[in-house]
Amino acid sequence: MADVLPLVEARLHSALGEPDARAAVTFLGTDRIEVLRFPAAAAAAGEGDVVRYATLGMSAQPMADPTAALADPVKGPRAELVLSVRSGAADTDKVLRPLAVLAASPQVEGVIVAPGASLDVGEPLWPGAPFTSVLVAEPGGLVEDLELDAPLDPVRFLPLLPMTPNEAAWKRVHGAPALQERWLNHGTDLRDPSRRSVPLD
């Protein structure tokens, strides 16, 4: 069976351009996770100075249902994470390790990362960041799903939207669609690395 990661990396390059930096993190008992940085010049036209960070390694194994007695080594959802932020306003390159932690969570904690989920790293995503968690958004916009040979599930590239602690708490009560609608109604720039929480009254 073909190695998934070279195909995943090729899809990232075709969608985002060439990365200008990469970092590898290995956690005890897990496969290596890399995080690739795609510079502002590689962002889509009209989006300005947006830098993107994408994980590489999360999709090497399918995510297993934590309630299953035995993990299927072939079937199951596969994903990588993509974070987009405006460059220059904060030291966002320090997000590499938190992103690797999130990408390793299916192996470490046995969770399935899917749209609508909240992921919390328990510390600021980068120095001084007002965010410690992210909302997993719907895939398909920035990087198209990567179809794999049957019986493998496709690899989905899941956008991450940073949340303030207040937004994360509000989302737990009201749900992800309600928070996203509030962001939209207030014209929230979700790529602003130092934005304030959206009004939640």
Q: What is the arrangement of strands in the sheet containing 50-56, beginning at the earlier edge strand?
A: 21-25, 33-38, 50-56, 78-86, 155-163, 133-136, 118-120
pTM of the model as a whole? 0.91
When pLDDT is cut at 50, 70 and 90, the band that residue 1 belongs to is very low
- 15-19, 77-81, 140-144, 169-173: which has the minimum mean pLDDT? 140-144
Instruction: Inform me whether the pLDDT recorded for 2 exceeds 70.
Output: no
When pLDDT is cut at 50, 70 and 90, the band that residue 130 belongs to is very high
Instruction: Inform me whether the pLDDT recorded for 170 exceeds 60.
Output: yes
Instruction: Inform me whether the pLDDT recorded for 65 exceeds 80.
Output: no
Per-residue confidence (pLDDT) for residue 140, from 0 to 100:
82
- Angle of helix 165-174 relative to helix 176-185, nearest 10 degrees, comes to 120
Residue with tokens 């300005």: 48
Of residues 82 and 68, more confidently modeled: 82
Instruction: Inform me whether the pLDDT recorded for 197 exceeds 90.
Output: yes
